[in-house]
Structures are given as C-alpha cells and as structure tokens.
A and B are shown apart, each in its own frame.
Chain A
Amino acid sequence: MTVAQQTPAITTRSTATPPRRNGRWSGYWHLLMARMLELKREPEVVFWVFAFPLLLAVGLGIAFRNKPADAVSVAIVDPAGNLQVMLANSPQHDLFRPHVLPQQEAETGFRLGKYDLVVASDGKGGFAYRYDPARPESVLAKTEVNDALQAAAGRKDAVATTATASSEPGSRYIDFLIPGLLGMNLMNSGMWGIGFALVDMRQRKLLKRFIGTPMRRGDFLLAIMTSRLVLMVLEVGLLLVFGILLFHMRVLGSLAAIALIAGLGSLTFGGIGLLTASRAQKIESISGLINLVMMPMWIFSGVFFSYERFPAVIHPLIKALPLTALNDALRACILEGTPILHQWPRLLVMILWGGISFVLALKWFRWT
C-alpha cells in the first residue's frame, strides 16, 4: 500500500476552479524561468556579464593596437648643421623626427625619455651616439640613424633585399586577447553566477524553503546549470560578433566547435562554482573563496599574455588548470581552426575538473 493511499481523507476547501495538474518538468521550467527573469532584472548582471568584457576588449584592443612604428625621435647637437642635412638627404629620412638642440638640453631630454638618441658631431667629420642599451627603441634608433647617415655618406648595400609589411588578422594582440577574454568571462560568470547565487539563496533561507516543498533537488541544480548555458550562448556570441565587426577578427573554427568548447567550459566552472558554494553560509565568505579559486587562473592561464613567459618547469601545472585548457582550446579553435578531436587532452582536463567538482559538490552540498 502506498503512502498516498493511507493518507486520511481530510476534507479541505472546495476549489471553485478545477484543480490543475503539474507535469514532471513543471518545477524545472518554472525554476529556469524564474532564474532567467531574475538575471534579466538585475542590472549588475547585465553589466558584468555583457558590458564589462566588451569594455575590456575595447580598452586593451586600443592600447595594444598594431600601429606603424613611431618616428624615431633624435636629438641633434651640431652647431654647423651638417648632420641635419645628411639625415634629410638619406633614403630613410621620413623615419626620423630630428630636434636640433644645445648639448645640455639634448642630454636632459634624453635622460627623461623624450629622445631615443642623441647624435653629436665630433667636429672632425665623425659622429658620436649616446644611447641607452636597456631601451629597445634607443638601440633601434642608433642602428637606424647610423644606417641613414652611412647611406647618406655614400655606403652601398652589399646584397639586394626586399621586405614586406605583415599585420594580418590572426596574429595580432587582439586576436590573442579575445579568446582569453571569452575564457575568463566564462570562468567569472560560472563562479559568480552559480557559486555566489547559491550561497545568497542559502543565506536568505530560500534553499531551505525550497526543500520544504516536493521540488526535486536535481531539477533545481539542473535549472541553475541550464540558465548558465543560455547565458553562455549570449556572452560568447556577443563578444565574438564584436571582435569580428570591430577588430575584423577571423574565426577559423566552426561555430559548433566553439559552442561545444564554451559550453563545456561553462559547465566546468559551473561545477567548480557549485563545489565552492557547497558549504559556505555567508556571501562574504563565498566572495573570498571565489576570488581565491580564480586568482591563480587569472595570473597563469594566459588571459592577457601567454603563459610561455613563465618558467618551463611549471608549464605542466599551468596546463592542468581548467582555464588554461579552456583558453588554449578556444584559441586553437578560433585562431587556427584545430579540429575538436585533436583537442581531446584539453577537453579531458575540463571534463575532469567539472565532473569531479560536481560529484563532490553533490556529496557536500548543504541546503540549509
């Protein structure tokens, strides 16, 4: 005999409207809809998830845009005026911005970084360079100015050479940056959107209230995860479209592959967010925990610069971080069009992080 059959028939109110029946997925759909409505009505979410990464991309894109090399700023100390004439007559004359100055002023300006190089006439037909070997532009200026002066004085090139300028989309900083921002954004919104949101609901005793109903706990977590995926599509789509329109970014991989990688990344960080939030009772403590978890990945996972700059010894550790795997996979897919199957080690890293976190989170999760 089932529990329901044993239930005493207590006469309750007579309902005016016919009773409605809810289907198996009614709770899930309502939870998902409620979550999406809440996100939509939260201006902070719209800013941090959508506007912030775009602003970051614009700012960094402008700061590190590929621009023609600056004209070399040269201070000239030559009362006779021969130097200027020679520089102006050289084939590379438009590379230079010469400033004729007294000795004292030239040296002060050089020390302050105003000039890359000081060229002085030694009064016997030769020239003396003052340059700073620690400043690449100073070293470059010395070479360039020397070449120009030698050419003006009649030196001939021993071998004929040609050079082609190359600033193709795909090899610029912005191309490196945008997949990194995608990865970072997926991490941020996974950790905050799930970790923080859950602890907030726990602190408000809403989780406790929910489990006082027949709500299926799995449905609740599923709805939270689904809302992440929906948001992921918007986040990734917006940033990619933005990169393509504004920075003429070239996307070599298929959209399906990008969606798959981003979706997996989203779920991975959702799992980690869930684990981080499994016990914390206060939003203050979860904020600290989330930052603690994300900090190493901000630094090491190659969001803004390549992790190749770190010593090779720690590269295996860096590659084991979930954000590194996500960033590398996104870059390979978007910039090089690497097929998804060739990326299996990175996908595996993400699956392991996400899967293990999810299982542990379910084991430790506190509803009250």
Chain B
Amino acid sequence: MAAAIQCRDLRKTYDSKVEAVRGLNLEIQAGECFGLLGPNGAGKTTTIEILEGLLAPTSGEVFIFGHTWHENEREMREWLGISLQETRLSEKLSVRETIELFASFYREPRSSDEVLEELQLTEKADAWVGKLSGGQRQRLAVATALVCNPKILFLDEPTTGLDPQSRRQLWDIIRQFQQDGGTVLLTTHYMDEAERLCDRLAIVDHGQIIAEGSPADLIERLGGHHVVEFSTSGNSDGASLQAWRGLPSVESVREDSGVIALNVKEPHLTIPALLEAVGQRGSELQHLTTRQASLEDVFVRLTGRHLRDE
C-alpha cells in the first residue's frame, strides 16, 4: 500500500536566490501523526504547502496515496483537509455558514452539526466569525478542514498563539481524528506539542531534515534521558567544560548563559561525583536541578541553537 504522503528530494528556491527547502525526503504512513518541527523560517510552511499541492516545488516529487498533483488534482482534494497558517475567514459570516460553505465544495461532506459538536462550536454556531476568540477561530479553521471527512489532515502551526486550554482542546481533536483512522501532518515549533501528539517527527532546519524518528527515539539518541543543570561560583572555561564531560555516566556537555547542562544516563552516578568535583575546585554550587530530557535538548544538541531563537 502506498504511503499516505511521500516526497523525494524536494527543493524550493524563491526568486532563484532564497533556498527555502533543500532536498527533503519524507514518507508518512496512513494512520500516522507526523510532525515537522523547526524554528521559524526553517522551511516548514513551504514544505507543507508543496505537499498540499498549493505551491509547485522547484524540483522533486510528491505522492499522496501514490498519486502526484499533476494527475487529478480535484479528486485528490476530496481526500485532504487543510488548515493554513493564518487564514482569515470572512468575519461577517456565521460559524455555521462558514462550515456549510466549505462543505459545499466536497462531493460527500459530513453534516455541519456533527462537526460543530465535535469541535465544541455548537454554542457559537450562529455567531459571526469576527466575534470569536483566537481559540474558537482556530477550531473553526480545523472544522473547515474536517467537514470534508478527510483521509489526511494538514495543520500548519495549529496552536501558535493560543492559550493553554485552547491548545489542549485542539490536541484532543487531532488525537480523536487520528484514532478514527486519519493521517495527520502538522508543523509546530512547540516541543511539548510534538512530544504529545506525534508518532514520528522530523526536525527541520534551514530547509533540511536534520533528525527523524519518534520523540522517544530522538531523545534516546541524545545519549541520555536526563539533564543535570548546575552553575558554580567562579568562571568556567572550555577546559573545565571538558572536565565535566569526564564525570561518570555523562554523555555530553553544553553551557548556556552560565548554566552548565550535562546529558546523563544515570543521574545517581553523576551527581555524587559532581558534588565532589565542585568541592575539589574550591568553588560552590549555586544551583542544581535534574530533569527529563526534552526535544528542545535534542534541537540544541543538533544545531547549537534554541528552537525559539529567531
């Protein structure tokens, strides 16, 4: 069976200067929730719009269930539910009118009432779009995608700028869609979102995939599930950073604005040794925490930058 979404050596160059996507390969199976994770400007939106058939790639191939966009675009559009980044729907139409409008484009859409119910918009059905909150608007955007009963749901930064409660509501909706057999491709620059929702994800930076796998996989590859962060009195330098690397069970070291972070497999071995080493140097610990490693750590490890850095 053909993969739900597949692309080979995708490239997109704008105005023959800006290389937004530089040789991207993906294969997403039906029923998977796949995330493209990366900082702003990494090429996520360009990639997803090429996969959606809204943007022509400079080179490379895209297959949706084994079909290319040149074959039968109208038919393929029946399978896809799309939520773009920042579409401003008409403010003077009601929620129900907007959903009905989108439903009218498909051969066999779902009933609007059912979609309203599922997206918790029933109470707002007759309110104008202009009167909705950010979270409600975003749910409406997803509703216009789900009303066609899609096989694949494309979501470009679905929760950017939403409050925590609205984000959680959307996560539930996306998970429900996946549980019912749907395939999801989403982009995000939120680590927690990717960790919670995605079966697999690709970390994208400068138009290329720099790592791919399940969230647990990627964290595993970091070389340790734990992070020990501490700072000491007195200056640290490159030489001392190497000294921390030599502590038991430490896989890697980095320094971030005065705080030293160790990727550690077994903290119970590292911490006593760390305390001893600090004592030997005659300096004092000013701060010490341990926590589970996150995708953020993976990203920093891979690129040397934080995900949210502009």
User: How many chain A residues have a CB neighbour from B under 8 Å?
Assistant: 40
- CB-contact partner of A206 in B80, B88, B100, under 8 A: B88
Nearest chain B CB to A220 CB, angstrom units: 10
Per-residue interface assignment for chain B, residues 47 to 61, with 1 indicating a CB less than 8 Å from any chain A CB and 0 otherwise: 000001111000000
Bound complex: CA A26 to CA B92 (Å): 21
Contact (A7, B65) CB under 8 Å given A37-B97, A206-B87: yes
Q: Give B83's nearest chain A residue, CB to CB.
A: A209
Return A171 CB to nearest CB of chain B, in Å: 45
In chain B, positions 180-200 with a C-beta closer than 8 Å to chain A are 180-183
By the criterion CB–CB under 8 Å, are B104 and A6 in contact? no
Q: A204-B87, A205-B87, A205-B88 are in contact. Are A12 and B182 (CB under 8 A)?
A: yes
Flag A307-329 by CB within 8 Å of B: 1 or 0 each: 00000000000000000000000
Q: Majority SS of interface residues in chain A?
A: loop
| Assembly CA distance A217 to B111 (angstroms) | 24
* Range for the number of chain B residues in contact with chain A: 35 or more
Given known A8-B2, A12-B181, contact A209–B87 (CB-CB < 8 A): yes
Chain A residues contacting B30 (CB-CB under 8 Å) are 8, 10
What's the Cα separation between A208 and B183 when bound, in Å?
A: 22
Which candidate, A14-22, A86-94, A242-250, is the interface stretch facing chain B?
A14-22
Q: Report which of A17, A42, A206, A214 forms a contact with B89, defined as CB distance below 8 A.
A: A206
Between A6, A29, A209, the greatest number of chain B beta carbons within 10 A of the residue's beta carbon is seen for A209
A65 within 8 A of B: no
**A34 to B78 alpha-carbon distance, docked (Å):** 21
- Cβ-defined contact, A38 with B110, below 8 A: no
Assess whether A17 is in contact with B100, with CB atoms less than 8 Å apart.
Answer: no
Residues 67-87 of B at the A interface (beta carbon under 8 Å): 67, 71-72, 74-80, 82, 84, 86-87
Residue of A6, A31, A209 near B84 (CB, 8 A) is A209
Q: Which residues of A contact B (CB under 8 A)?
A: 2-4, 6-8, 10-13, 15-17, 19-22, 26-27, 29-31, 34, 37-38, 41-42, 204-206, 208-216, 368
New A-B pairs, 16, CB < 8 Å, besides A7-B65, A15-B149, A37-B97: A8-B1, A10-B31, A10-B151, A12-B180, A15-B111, A16-B114, A17-B113, A17-B114, A19-B149, A22-B108, A30-B105, A31-B101, A38-B93, A205-B84, A205-B86, A211-B54
